[in-house]
Amino acid sequence: MKVPVVKEILKANDRVADENRSRFDAAGVRVVNVMASPGAGKTSLILATAARLRGLRPGVIEGDVASSLDAETIAAHDIPVVQINTGGSCHLDAPMVQAALPHLPLQEIDLLFIENVGNLICPASYALGADLALVIGSVPEGHDKPYKYPGIFAKADVVLLNKADLVDVFAFDAEYFARGVRMVNPEVPIFIVSCRSGEGLEEWTAWLHQWLGAGAADEALAAAVAETAAAEVGPE
């Protein structure tokens, strides 16, 4: 008798992730998988980013072991959101995301954030169908996280270091943090931000708009990105 192995489970997950990706593409939705440890500021970063998207329409899938606290926070800002409670699992998987999609108005969303369960290990192994893997570190966690959890930083398409306003309080070594990230992911963009003070958020969202524009799949999204970019530059 054959015993199922993790590799086969991941293959099955990848097949569903491909189905999710096809559905997102058909709806003209770009998707960001937001991964971080608990308390790193995933929800705050999503809200701070959404507030700077201007003409672009955000949506959110919230993943948590229990409760709907983060989803309620997102909904209070009039952003379409659906909650996934994993009931103990330390990550979201593609079938969970697929089950959530009928509850989202995908035709009214340009950029979908999937806030994964707070964890620096499990989420890195499960594709969801996202276009971009965003990993958030935070100053209070310490500057050694890329060295202790290299796998998730190796898979990141972009890395944000949040809570920069606390660098002095925690004697955080940003260069040491960045060096750890570069050891496993030499070319990944790194942005140092603070959702409380606003530091670095304009640079981050400018990069995000550029990424969206480069991968715009339809005229409506391309036009929205161009409109937002023009608004940021302002009149000449």
Question: Is 90 exceeded by the pLDDT of residue 220?
Answer: no
d(CA 186, CA 206): 21
Beta bridge partners of residue 16, listed in sequence order: none
What percent of the chain lies above the pLDDT cut of 70? 89
Average pLDDT in the chain: 92
5-215: CATH architecture: 3-Layer(aba) Sandwich (3.40)
What is the side-by-side order of every strand in the sheet holding 158-162? 81-85, 58-64, 111-115, 30-36, 132-138, 158-162, 190-192
pLDDT digits (tens, 9 = 90+) for 7-47: 777 899 999 999 999 999 999 999 999 999 999 999 999 99
Question: Is 50 exceeded by the pLDDT of residue 214?
Answer: yes
3-state secondary structure of 222: helix
* Domain coordinates in residue numbering, the chain: 5-215
Q: pLDDT band for 235, please (50, 70, 90 cuts).
A: very low
